[in-house]
Amino acid sequence: MTKRDFDAVVVGSGPNGLAAAITMQQAGLSVLLLEGKDTIGGGLRTAELTLPGFRHDICSAIHPMAAESPFFKTLPLQAHGLEYLYPPVAAAHPLDNGTAAALTQSMADTVAQFSTDAKAYENLVGPVAKDWPELGPAILGPLRFPENPFVMARFGLKGLLPAKLLANLFLKTTEARALWAGMAAHAQLPLANVATSAIGLVLLAMGHRQGWPLPRGGSQSIASALTSYFVSLGGQVQTNFYVKSLAQLPSSHAVLFDITPRQLLGIAGHKFSALYKWQLERYRYGMGVFKVDWALAGPIPFTAPECRQAGTIHLGNTLEEITHAEQLTWDGTHPEKPFVLLAQQSLFDATRAPAGQHTAWAYCHVPHGSTKDMTAAIEQQVERYAPGFRERILARSVMNTVQMEEYNANYIGGDINGGVLDIGQLFTRPVLRLSPYQTSAKGLYICSSSTPPGGGVHGMCGYHAARKALRDVFDVRLPATLSPA
């Protein structure tokens, strides 16, 4: 192998780019991580978006998948400054009658809310939580024959169901159905679509395993810890290096791109086979998001006490209302009452706002590429369950889908999942190949959320892409299983 400037170059420093860089560096290679912005992190960044002293997570905020990531759990991130904080209620879902369904770590406490649905809920979610040590590595990776087919089959039989159908088959109470709908809506798909139950089951199971944590100091803390560990291994980082062509890159044996197919085509399309390029050009992006951050004079005055103890709130009332809103959005219109995902990190992390004051973070789904201002609709949904909320707003920052993409080029049309996560692109993203991470050009790999397992802060796309590059280019074969640190 001829001498190069680096063994590997990773383009993009989101959680997957960082995971890829760490995996390659752990194997003893020389790795350069490039980032176009002046700070590392991709979707893991925190900044004062509204007023001085109010620190807001610009993109991702709550991190159940990061805390339970099979790869991140192998890393000594606590020693590099990462601390997770666990709200007593992982997620709450208020209803118009003033009550709320709450996801807590205790299965017993959670099912106690659901009366006749208690057993059904436990049967649906309990096995996923119990099986996660075996199930997680199988789900969070490329399509392959599972080590434990029974465990995978037990999950798949439920996970492949449309979320609306699963609810109609197993859940009767308004509370359980509403909580379920809020979880499944994280898929950014109509709840009548096949496989929308998978994300709902996983998120509920994460709540029961240990909760839905937020990192002290903001999501940037995750990126900072990953970067610190990477550098401690000898890895090199260069920021303010926006890659537009392969000619800009230093010489290396392998390049891994934490970007989506559209950017990859612009950078390296001329290197790809006609078939591979044709498939990338047909990759589908999904619904976008409209996001609001608030600086608040006090905590959000939710009526339901469970909401005042929760890190995450799902605002959308019943399963039927959420299903209707998500279908309208998918069909290209803006619902009057959108499904809203809200986080209130400052209730549990005093570093986020000045003493006695607070921050809040929220977004709703909108049609791909929408520029419609959804501020009023989102704030009305909050006010619906927290009368007096608007009176506490000191300042706000908003981002539509175009602004989201300008901030992070991976958010095409505001799609924060790196492309549609439906059954057609679940395991064949970004193209149909034996390895989804290997492009048709020698030494070039894609490691973003546009590869399996898709969106979320877990680093598994980068980890699996790095494993593939290590085998192909460097003849390095890592152990089949990950061992927690």
Q: Where are the domains of the chain?
A: 6-49+60-80+215-283+416-474, 84-213+286-407
**Residue 300 near residue 382 (C-beta atoms within 8 A):** yes
Per-residue pLDDT tens digits of the chain, which is 485 residues long: 667 899 999 999 999 999 999 999 999 999 999 999 999 999 999 999 999 999 999 999 999 999 999 999 999 999 999 999 999 999 999 999 999 999 999 999 999 999 999 999 999 999 999 999 999 998 998 877 777 888 999 999 999 999 999 999 999 999 999 999 999 999 999 999 999 999 999 999 999 999 999 999 999 999 999 999 999 999 999 999 999 999 999 999 999 999 999 999 999 999 999 999 999 999 999 999 999 999 999 999 999 999 999 999 999 999 999 999 999 999 999 999 999 999 999 999 999 999 999 999 999 999 999 999 999 999 999 999 999 999 999 999 999 999 999 999 999 999 999 999 998 897 789 999 989 999 999 999 999 999 999 999 999 999 999 999 999 999 999 987 786 66
Residue 36: its pLDDT value, please?
97
Question: Is 464 strand, coil or helix?
Answer: helix
Closest residue by Cα to residue 461 from 202, 315, 260: 260
Q: How far apart are CA 304 and CA 31, in angstroms?
A: 50
pLDDT at 482: 81
How many other C-beta atoms are found inside a 10 Å radius of the C-beta of residue 191? Answer: 27
The pLDDT, as a whole number, for residue 19 is: 98
Note the pLDDT of residue 483: 66
On whether the 6-49+60-80+215-283+416-474 domain is CATH 3.40.50.300, my answer is no
Q: ∠ CA(331), CA(332), CA(335), 5° rounding?
A: 90
Grouping H, G, I as helix, E, B as strand and the rest as coil, residue 42 is coil
CATH 1.10.3470 fits 84-213+286-407, yes or no: no
| Cβ neighbours around 237 below 10 Å, total | 18
Q: Cα 147 to the chain's mean position, in Å? A: 25
Per DSSP, the residues of 10-34 read EE--SHHHHHHHHHHHHTT--EEEE
DSSP assigned state of 438 = B
DSSP conformation letters of 408-425: -TTSGGG-TTSS--STTT
Same fold, 6-49+60-80+215-283+416-474 and 84-213+286-407: no
Beta strands in 75-149 (DSSP E): 84-85, 89-94, 100-103
Cβ(433)–Cβ(299) under 8 Å? Answer: no
List Cα–Cα distances, 25 to 90, 141, 389, 463, in angstroms: 35, 20, 48, 12
Strand partners, 8: 31, 254
Antiparallel, parallel or unpaired: β 340-343 and 358-366: antiparallel
> Among the residues of 186-342, which ranges form H helices?
197-209, 220-232, 261-268, 274-281, 319-330
- CA distance readout (Å), 313 to 220, 330, 429: 21, 22, 30
If DSSP codes are grouped into helix, strand and coil, which group holds residue 251?
coil
Most distant CA pair in the chain, distance? 69
Q: Cα 240 to chain center, whole Å?
A: 24
Whole-number Å distance between alpha carbons of 288 and 269: 25
Distance CA 103, CA 79 (A): 30
Torsion sign over Cα 47, 50, 55, 59: negative
Q: Residue 451 has what pLDDT?
A: 97
CB 431 within 8 A of CB 274: no
Report pLDDT for 4: 80
Alpha carbons 185 and 187: distance in angstroms, whole number: 5
Residue 96 per-residue DSSP state: T
Q: How far apart are CA 137 and CA 148, in angstroms?
A: 11
315 sits in which H/E element: strand 310-315
Chain center to CA of 4: 35
Across the beta sheet with 444-446, what order do the strands follow?
236-238, 31-34, 6-11, 252-257, 444-446
Place of tokens 């339970």: 68
| Residues belonging to the chain | 485
